[in-house]
Chains A and B, each alone.
Chain A
Amino acid sequence: MTILEAKETGASAPPAGKPRLRARGGRAAGLLRSPGLLVAYLWIVVILLAAVHPGLFATGDPLRQDASQMLLAPSPDHLFGTDDFGRDQFTRTAWGTRLSLQAAIIAVAIGLVSGSLVGLVAGALRGRADSVLMRVVDIMLAVPSLIVSLAIISALGRGTLNIAVAIGINSTAGFARLMRSEVLKVSNAKYVEASVFAGHGYVRRLFKHVVPNASRSVLAAATMDIGTAILTVAALSFLGLGAPPPTPEWGLLVAEGRTFIGVQWWLSLLPGLVIVVTVLAVYRVGRSFNRGRTHVVA
């Protein structure tokens, strides 16, 4: 799952003399005008709290089995019902947040750091180094990301951390390409060319003008990518390649409930809904960072 391109759709600078229509008042005022964004932020706060301290939301033990409470429908006692071992599905979902979120964040961090470095090197050096690096990136992007992740996992073995590493390696290509194109674009900006007249060396100019401006887009893209990573982590866990069964993890919960989809559909769909809402919230927040650009997430 990669960001294929970042494109400026809005003019970056208002034309000379036009009355500037940009509203002032900063992010806080923007939040109030956009209730959807506010809700998205609130949900992310809830999810982060659940990841750090699941006990805040579910006091029970996610692993505690109870033969007398098997496959119960959702009720005030068991918000998401209970599974075939009588475990409370809501508790398991709350406790599963940590692992799912951790994996997604590790994945994006790996992709962001390594991808940005590769992209920066390619964009700054240009020439042969650039061609070689970009050909490698092209090759990585040629194979569907899920297949690449699967191949990496077959090499590394199962486990949530390995999933995160696989997704991270895989998203390196997308970040590298984005960073490179941003570096090239910013380098072509007149103000970067103009800075040569100030008499500084190339590296200083690179880090003073190019890197800060280029990394803004890449960081904004990374927020979107966290959403994509949550989806991929869940997908790979769903396939049984993540943590082993009793461990609470979002994708695994959906997979475990699959057997009962005909009757006890809530076992799969309610944890699934939590994934959906979380990803939506992350995308919504990501989009607010990406105003004026279109990030094509595939």
Chain B
Amino acid sequence: MARYGLRLLYGVIVVWGAFTGAFFLLYVVPGDAAGGLTAGADGADVKQLLAEQRELLGLDRPVWVQYWDALTGALRGDFGQSVYQRRPAVEVYFESFPETLKLAFLGLLLAVVLGVTLSVVIELTNWKWARELLISLPPVAVSLPPFLVGLVLLQVFAFQLHWIKAVGDPGFGGLLIASAALAVAGGGSISQLLTANLRGALTSPYVETARNWGLSRFDVLVRHALKNAALPVITSLGTTVGVMVGGTVLTETVFSRLGVGRLVVDAVDGRDMPVVLVAVTISAVIFVVVNLVVDAVHPLLDKRISWDG
């Protein structure tokens, strides 16, 4: 358990680092957020307005004081007011969060199912040209821009088949199609990694042994090679989830779904720094939590690893 405690501490450091990095990036590099608010105004009162805003937002104080306030605020769950919505940024963020969570979760599920199935089918396919064709799929999937996949699916399912609404379909069909668009790249990258690992596992001595025990190809693959090959896929799950979270930004834009992804794009567009800060911090929290879960599960799958070392 000692190792796990250390991991926990380490996770806290990562989240703190992400928050800190984002804070200085967002609040120090560009000057300040007040500029964004006054972008539309012109004439003599701009300076006046800017100064008022700065005072209002507390941007006239030294950076370190601002940082300290932001950090202690964040610990209490207060990331400041969304500049546009005039509500706490956290509130704005978590309002859209369930929508995105559903999308990302379903997307991840589809990606894992598609990726693993494809890899297994590749290894079980005897026919040479069919196999070559299947092997070429994961790289293609990774090369497809997620927004383009979304547009194609939208064109087919909304405009040709009329299964879903083109704009922000609230039903399960809309969710499924959107998460499918999200899953293509993720599934491709899972399948690429898994296929490469399977290739390695299938040429390893223990698979040679299993083959010589008279096991069928399917048994060799599923009972012996797959579990070994899947371990690195599982340990990189944190990153895959990150790809999903990033991907929602594009998918939600294409399908006009009101989720965190859209929110972030709008916030970036309008330089709504508190919202961007929340998004960055929560993304880091998600990454850390997923990795902690993977760390907890890993020793159960691989007895060579233990919590104590």
Is there direct touching of A and B in the complex, by C-beta distance under 8 Å? Answer: yes
* Most A C-beta atoms less than 10 A away, residue of B15, B166, B199, B253: B253
List A residues 221-236 near B (Cβ within 8 Å): 227, 231, 234-235
Which listed residue, A136, A147, A157, A296, touches B249 by the CB 8 Å rule?
A147
Given A135-B13, A142-B288, A283-B142, answer yes or no on A154-B267 (Cβ-Cβ < 8 Å). Answer: yes
A238 interfacial contact with B, CB 8 Å: yes
* Most A C-beta atoms less than 10 A away, residue of B17, B245, B271: B17
Across-interface contacts of B196 in A (CB, < 8 A): 7, 9, 294
A154 to B158, CA, bound (A): 33
A231 to B287, CA, bound (A): 23
Which A residues have a C-beta under 8 Å from some C-beta of B? 4, 7, 9, 135-136, 138-148, 150-157, 227, 231, 234-235, 238-241, 251, 254-255, 258, 261-263, 265, 268-269, 272, 275-276, 279-280, 283-284, 287, 294, 296-298
Known: A154-B273, A235-B250, A296-B192. 16 other contacts (CB 8 A): A138-B14, A138-B17, A139-B17, A143-B280, A143-B284, A146-B247, A147-B245, A147-B280, A151-B26, A152-B25, A155-B30, A262-B155, A279-B143, A280-B140, A296-B193, A297-B192
Q: Tell whether, in the assembled complex, residue A148 and residue B280 are in contact, meaning their CB atoms are under 8 Å apart.
A: yes
CB distance from B276 to the nearest CB of A (A): 5
Across-interface contacts of A139 in B (CB, < 8 A): 13-14, 17-18, 21, 284
Across-interface contacts of B297 in A (CB, < 8 A): none
Across-interface contacts of B30 in A (CB, < 8 A): 154-157
Across-interface contacts of A146 in B (CB, < 8 A): 246-247, 249-250
A231 to B, closest residue via Cβ: B145
B42 interfacial contact with A, CB 8 Å: no
Q: How many A-B residue pairs have CB under 8 A?
A: 169
Across-interface contacts of B163 in A (CB, < 8 A): none
CB distance from A286 to the nearest CB of B (A): 10
Which listed residue, B143, B148, B267, B287, touches A143 by the CB 8 Å rule?
B287
Which listed residue, A155, A231, A262, touches B143 by the CB 8 Å rule?
A231
Q: Tell whether, in the assembled complex, residue A143 and residue B145 are in contact, meaning their CB atoms are under 8 Å apart.
A: no
A135 to B238, CA, bound (A): 16
Across-interface contacts of A287 in B (CB, < 8 A): 139
Q: What 1/0 flags go to B13-32 for Cβ under 8 Å of A?
A: 11101100110011001100
**10 nearest A-B pairs in the assembled complex, by CB-CB distance:** A146-B246, A144-B246, A139-B17, A294-B196, A272-B148, A144-B242, A262-B159, A279-B143, A154-B268, A155-B29
Which listed residue, B17, B283, B288, touches A135 by the CB 8 Å rule?
B17
A258 to B253, CA, bound (A): 11
Q: Tell whether, in the assembled complex, residue B147 and residue A227 are in contact, meaning their CB atoms are under 8 Å apart.
A: no
CB distance from B264 to the nearest CB of A (A): 6
Across-interface contacts of B236 in A (CB, < 8 A): 4, 296, 298
Which listed residue, A147, A251, A261, A297, touches B264 by the CB 8 Å rule?
A147
Which B residues have a C-beta under 8 Å from some C-beta of A? 13-15, 17-18, 21-22, 25-26, 29-30, 139-140, 142-148, 151-152, 154-155, 158-159, 166, 189, 192-193, 196-197, 199-200, 236, 239-240, 242-243, 245-247, 249-250, 253-254, 264-265, 267-269, 271, 273, 276, 279-280, 283-284, 287-288
A258 to B254, CA, bound (A): 8
A16 to B117, CA, bound (A): 38
Which listed residue, B17, B199, B249, touches A150 by the CB 8 Å rule?
B249
CB distance from A22 to the nearest CB of B (A): 17
A148 to B276, CA, bound (A): 10
Given A269-B148, A275-B148, A287-B139, answer yes or no on A239-B253 (Cβ-Cβ < 8 Å). Answer: yes
Given A4-B236, A135-B13, A269-B152, answer yes or no on A275-B267 (Cβ-Cβ < 8 Å). Answer: no
Q: Tell whether, in the assembled complex, residue B159 and residue A142 are in contact, meaning their CB atoms are under 8 Å apart.
A: no
A294 to B, closest residue via Cβ: B196
Q: Tell whether, in the assembled complex, residue A154 and residue B17 are in contact, meaning their CB atoms are under 8 Å apart.
A: no
Across-interface contacts of A255 in B (CB, < 8 A): 147
A36 to B, closest residue via Cβ: B136
Q: Tell whether, in the assembled complex, residue B25 and residue A150 are in contact, meaning their CB atoms are under 8 Å apart.
A: no
Given A145-B246, A235-B147, answer yes or no on A155-B239 (Cβ-Cβ < 8 Å). Answer: no
Q: Tell whether, in the assembled complex, residue A283 and residue B151 are in contact, meaning their CB atoms are under 8 Å apart.
A: no
B264 to A, closest residue via Cβ: A150
Across-interface contacts of B250 in A (CB, < 8 A): 146, 235, 238-239
Q: Tell whether, in the assembled complex, residue A254 and residue B147 are in contact, meaning their CB atoms are under 8 Å apart.
A: yes
Across-interface contacts of A297 in B (CB, < 8 A): 142, 189, 192
Q: Tell whether, in the assembled complex, residue A136 and residue B17 are in contact, meaning their CB atoms are under 8 Å apart.
A: yes
Q: Tell whether, in the assembled complex, residue B18 and residue A254 are in contact, meaning their CB atoms are under 8 Å apart.
A: no
Across-interface contacts of A154 in B (CB, < 8 A): 26, 30, 267-268, 271, 273, 276
Across-interface contacts of A276 in B (CB, < 8 A): 140, 143-145, 148
Given A4-B236, A155-B25, answer yes or no on A280-B139 (Cβ-Cβ < 8 Å). Answer: yes
* Most A C-beta atoms less than 10 A away, residue of B14, B151, B245, B268: B268
A2 to B, closest residue via Cβ: B239
CB distance from A203 to the nearest CB of B (A): 31
